[in-house]
Amino acid sequence: MKYIVALDQGTTSSRAVVVDERGGVVAAHGEEFEQIYPQPGWVEHDPKDILSSQVRALKAAVEKAGIDPRDIAGIGVTNQRETTIIWDKKTGKPVCNAIVWQCRRTAGEIERLKAEGATENIQKRTGLIPDAYFCASKIQWILRNVPGARAAAQAGELLFGTVDTFLIWNLTKERAHVTDVSNASRTMLYNIHTMQWDEELLRLMEIPAAILPKVVDSSGVVGMLDPAILGVEIPICGIAGDQQAALFGQACFEKGMVKTTYGTGGFLLMQTGEEAVESKNGLLTTVAWRVGGKTEYALEGSVFVAGAAVQWLRDEMKLISSAAESEQVALSVEDTGGVYMVPAFTGLGAPYWDMYGRGTVVGLTRGTGRAHLVRATLEAIAFQTADVMEAMHKDSRIAITQMRADGGASANAFLMQFQADILGVNVVRPAVTETTAMGAAFLAGLAMGVWESREQVASIWHAQKSFEPSFSEDMRAQKLASWHRAVLRAMRWAD
Ligand code: ADP
């Protein structure tokens, strides 16, 4: 038996997952690490913690699996995207903490760029709508604010990397300085059409090209694991950002396939094949992966509040005692009794983009009870997801054939069924829910011939349950119309 190990370096924990050649998860281990909040709105990680927790997770998972490291054919890496690290090429020492994707310290700089009219140019080149999430303004911040950093960067003494790059540089004996196309496409410095670092954007953001990693395919050997770690050299041969890895792990290999991760927020990615679809509805265009020299793209959209609305029911409203309980409570009533809940706690994302929207409940009557509100909240997760999916359809004109679901809230069968009903599309939950890790494993395994082809990978992926739409077209249209009326009432509430 041959094995692949996926390293899944996330925002709050570093995990390692051992996968066998049949695609089964043999063992997994996760290690949490510290979140650093130096000021309101700022988020950092200590790069040493990222690296050490990841190495511990790798060793522990291999030990739990009880396998001989010589039977590991390859290692795949997937990572929290956009988090930015700059370190010294000679000593390996980071010049400051990692600036985490969530960090808002560069929001002002982004506002300035937008006010100068840079949005359209940036979107044309990178597929992204300028935001402090992406690496560009974070790199610029480090070069401006860390004493000596700019001069050292210009002298070629510093290296930049997203988390995949930083890990691989530290884990490979040859100190490979690489990133894959999916991670590069989240820097706001990479031209997703020419598939090159964009010189004009580098100039705009005052970033010297010398610090940038080489951009490689998502599947292919980039270096060998330092034998000091597991006693043997193992090829590192797959890389993808977490959301793109989940799309690959869900085997969304055909144009029009969508995956949604129902976590705290909801993340939707639609495979658009070899076409980079430009969005007119506030979605992002991103590189899904490049395998065998062939680039495929995705449209990406997110729902700000998904599982977080269920947490709100539990922690603030005390209507349920656990997230899982929401399912039976919702099913205890036939419908919401006309109640609609819009969880616009932090404003509304795609396709509304209204940061002044706030949470709203409409349609209350004397007969409204706890179960109606719980049910309306779960339905709201599905409605918001449907809105993003509709935006994807409008942008791409691609007929959506199926949606594959994962993440914590995908365990909720009521939510999954309602999602299928309101989309009029099958919603499928996979047997293996570790989709992010599976994506990295699949990319690495394809590089080493553990799996011959994508078709073979697709045959390894299995559905655990498929939810078939059951609403009539009338019913679907009527519920969506009421939802949209509710959204209008939530919009532009805050000053
Ligand atoms: P993240 O990776 O964002 O932390 P997870 O994928 O672990 O998220 O999912 C956790 C979220 O899913 C929480 O917001 C929780 O409220 C929600 N959740 C978990 N189980 C259920 C359930 N059975 N029904 C509805 N929501 C759930």
pLDDT, residue 353, reads 87
The per-residue pLDDT for 4 is 98
pLDDT value of position 385: 97
Distance 312 CA to ligand 1 centre (A): 12
Q: Tell me the C-alpha distance between 456 and 444, whole Å.
A: 14
Residue 105: both structure tokens together: 């310290």
Pair 403, 428: CB distance under 8 Å? yes
**Among the atoms of ligand 1, which is closest to the Cα of residue 307?**
14
The atom number, within ligand 1, closest to the CA of 306 reads 14
Residue nearest to atom 15 of ligand 1 (CA): 307
Determine the atom of ligand 1 nearest the C-alpha atom of 263.
8
- The Å distance, Cα 213 to ligand 1 centre, comes to 35
Q: Which of 390, 342, 300 is nearest to 492 (CA)?
A: 342
| Domains contained in the chain, CATH given | 3-243 (3.30.420.40), 251-430+462-495 (3.30.420.40)
pLDDT of residue 40: 86
Q: What is the pLDDT of residue 445?
A: 97
Beta strand pairing status for 72-79 and 235-241? parallel
**Burial status of residue 244 (CB atoms within 10 A of its CB: 0-12, 13-18, 19 or more):** buried
pLDDT at 384: 97
Ligand 1 centroid, distance to 438 Cα (angstroms):
19
Are the CB atoms for 42 and 87 separated by under 8 Å?
no
| Cα–ligand 1 centroid distance for 429 (angstroms) | 15
Helices (H), 236-369: 242-249, 307-315, 325-331
Burial of 175 from C-beta contacts in 10 A (0-12 / 13-18 / 19+): middle
Minimum-distance ligand 1 atom for the alpha carbon of 408:
9
The number of the ligand 1 atom at minimal distance from the alpha carbon of 310 is 16
- CB within 6 Å of ligand 1 — which residues? 263-264, 307-308, 310-311, 323-324, 326-327, 407-409, 411-412
Residue 399 is predicted with a pLDDT of: 87
- DSSP 8-state class, residue 127: S
Measure CA of the first residue to CA of the last residue in the chain; give whole Å: 61
- Ligand 1 atom nearest to 411, measured from its CA: 23
> What's the pTM value of the predicted model, to 2 decimals?
0.93
Q: Is 407 helix (H, G, I), strand (E, B) or coil?
A: coil
Strand pairing category for 3-9 and 13-20: antiparallel
The whole-number pLDDT of residue 349 equals 86
Mutate to test the pocket of ligand 1, among 264, 303, 314, 327 (most ligand atoms within 8 A of CB): 264
Q: How many whole angstroms from 408 Cα to the centroid of ligand 1?
A: 4
What per-residue confidence (pLDDT) applies to 1? 86
Pocket probe for ligand 1: among 310, 314, 429, the residue whose CB has the most ligand atoms within 8 Å is 310
Which distant-in-sequence residues (6+ apart) come within 8 Å of 11 by Cβ? 80, 83, 100, 101, 102
DSSP SS3 for 8:
strand
Instruction: Check residue 346 and give its pLDDT.
Output: 85
Give, using CA atoms, the residue closest to atom 26 of ligand 1.
409
Give me the average pLDDT of each 10-residue run along the chain (495 residues).
95 95 95 92 94 97 96 97 96 96 91 94 95 94 96 96 98 96 98 97 96 98 96 97 97 95 94 94 95 96 93 96 97 97 91 90 97 98 97 93 93 98 96 94 97 95 96 97 97 88
Q: Compute the distance between CA of residue 204 and CA of residue 452 in angstroms, rounded to an integer.
A: 43
